[in-house]
Amino acid sequence: MMKNQSNKPMRYIIYARKSSESSERQVQSIDDQINFFKKLAKEKDLDIVEIFSESKSAKAPGRPVFNKMIDFIQTGNAQGVLCWKLDRLARNPVDEGIIKWMLQNKIIKQIKTFDRDFNPEDNVVLASIEFGMANQYIRDLSKNVKRGIKSKLEKGIWPSGAPVGYRNKNKKIVLDKVKAKYIKKAFVLYSKGGHSLKELTDILFEEGFRSKGGGRYYKSSIYKILTNTLYYGLMKNRDNYYQGIHEPIISEEIFDKVQLVLQGKSQTRRKKHFFTYRGLLHCEKCGCLLTATTKKGYVYYYCTNGKGNCEEHKKYLREELVEKILGNSLNKLKLKPEMVEILYQSAKEKLNSKRDYKKDIVKTLSNQLKQVTTKQERLLEGYCSEVISKEAYKKKEQLLQKEEVELKIKIRKIDKKTIRDDETLERIKKLFLRACYAKKEFLQAQKGRKTKTLQNLLWNATVQNRELATVSFERGFQLIANEPNKDDFEKMRRREDSNPWSA
């Protein structure tokens, strides 16, 4: 055991830190740092009186645990510091100065790191060099990151996490085909006026637009989306703009219209009259929307004839007829609840079988992980006992760390897949049950609710000669509509097996 000048055993503290910055992911974890010095203290008979740890960057002063540690040493509770490297203690001139001053004045009598000792009488210069290198690293890192970001932007590449509607792939952003559909709809709906941000969030939520955690996107999030130029291809970084090479979701024209509505400068005004089915039907002949009007107390729908060459606009449809047309279209979704339950139980049995298989795989991987941990402990013991050289220790430890990370990733992926499969199955069951009662729900709903019901079910519907010409449903419901014989259990089951919505 090391003693100070008063022949009293020197008391040590352990200080372990891991930066929250991604650039330092390779640094030993806090637990690893603490375990290393605990074993080293046992080997060298060192007296550890306190352990301090924190997850915080050292590039600026103000770390609470670091300050607490300094107070602990200054009041004479300890004289030595055990830390992985000096850059764990400080990476800024202020904290560096405190440590160096305490070392020079023998308030700290020894700093023991992973591979070196620093003492007041012989290594202050070396400590200064190491602290300087740590501080310079932070400064260079900031410059390099900014330079890298600018370089990517100039090449048309978005340099950070993909915004909603895109996903990161091969260091670029590509369309997230599911969420991009919602982003486009948000811009198109809002550009027409007549919807507040709150109403827009409600519409998108009811149609299935969810955050990563499965929650709702609120007004502030939708506002950020509607004001983000990246969606039409123009990337903004601070006050500079760059043309992106990613695929735009909307046109610049739609973006500009949205900005006018947000600023209250659009000539579009909120609709004075509410018509239940306006915006839900198109003319089969010219593709224009059907609009509505009131005459003698009755509501009529007709083609807007926006292209000026359609005769269908002369054919008016009473609202009762439109309701009948749309209600009949929902017959395509008709399923028997008992059929849904059979399909659900069948899929659940398959999932349970897969889950047992995954449990066996996780058990095997967990045993392999335990073996890696045992090897790491034995390797550290060998290094502390000076049986293994520093170079051999580092090389083998890197391989074991890599193996440990890979095993943990595999286990995490299997766990996530199991959870996702369960959630998907429940979502499918809910969708199928919704299809069972879709027509009944529509017919019994109040006017405002009828609109939302159809918005959740229909993707597009066209009318010609006062009759339904074509109808398509939202993704999941369209798969049900495409099945001609919904009473054929075996056929439905085979379709479920090959269905991308199937769990």
State pLDDT tens for residues 185-233.
Answer: 999 989 888 788 888 888 888 888 998 888 889 899 999 999 999 999 8
Give the chain's length: 503
- Residue 310, pLDDT > 70, answer yes
Q: What is the pLDDT of residues 446-482, one digit of tens each?
A: 877 888 878 878 788 888 888 888 888 887 788 777 7
Ordered by where they begin, the domains of the chain are 11-147 (3.40.50.1390), 166-262 (3.90.1750.20), 282-332 (no CATH), 337-498 (no CATH)
Closest CA to 265 of 315, 328, 191: 191
Q: What is the pLDDT of residue 496?
A: 47
Region 291-297: mean pLDDT is 85
pLDDT tens-digit readout, 23-74: 444 445 888 889 989 999 998 899 999 999 998 887 788 889 999 999 999 9
Closest CA to 156 of 241, 255, 228, 251: 241
Closest C-alpha to 474, from 449, 457, 454: 457
Output the pTM of the full model: 0.36
- For residues 328 and 461, is the Cβ–Cβ distance under 8 A? no
Q: What is the pLDDT of residues 333-385, one digit of tens each?
A: 877 788 778 778 887 888 888 888 888 898 999 999 899 889 988 888 888 88
At residue 80 the predicted structure's pLDDT band, cuts being 50, 70 and 90, is: very high
Distance from C-alpha of 299 to C-alpha of 285, rounded to nearest angstrom: 22
Q: Which two tokens stand for residue 438?
A: 């879709």
pLDDT of residue 489: 43
- Find residue 173's DSSP bridge partners: 168
Q: What per-residue confidence (pLDDT) applies to 68?
A: 94
Instruction: Note whether 328 and 468 are within 8 A (CB).
Output: yes
pLDDT at 168: 92
How far lies 35's CA from each of 1, 115, 369, 467, in Å? 19, 15, 18, 76
- Cα–Cα distance for residue pair 462/287, rounded to 1 Å: 8
Q: Where are the alpha helices (DSSP H) in 48-90?
A: 64-74, 86-89
Which of the residue ranges 64-78, 229-243, 409-423 has the most confident prediction, judged by mean pLDDT? Answer: 64-78
Average pLDDT of every residue of the chain: 81
More confident residue, 500 or 436: 436
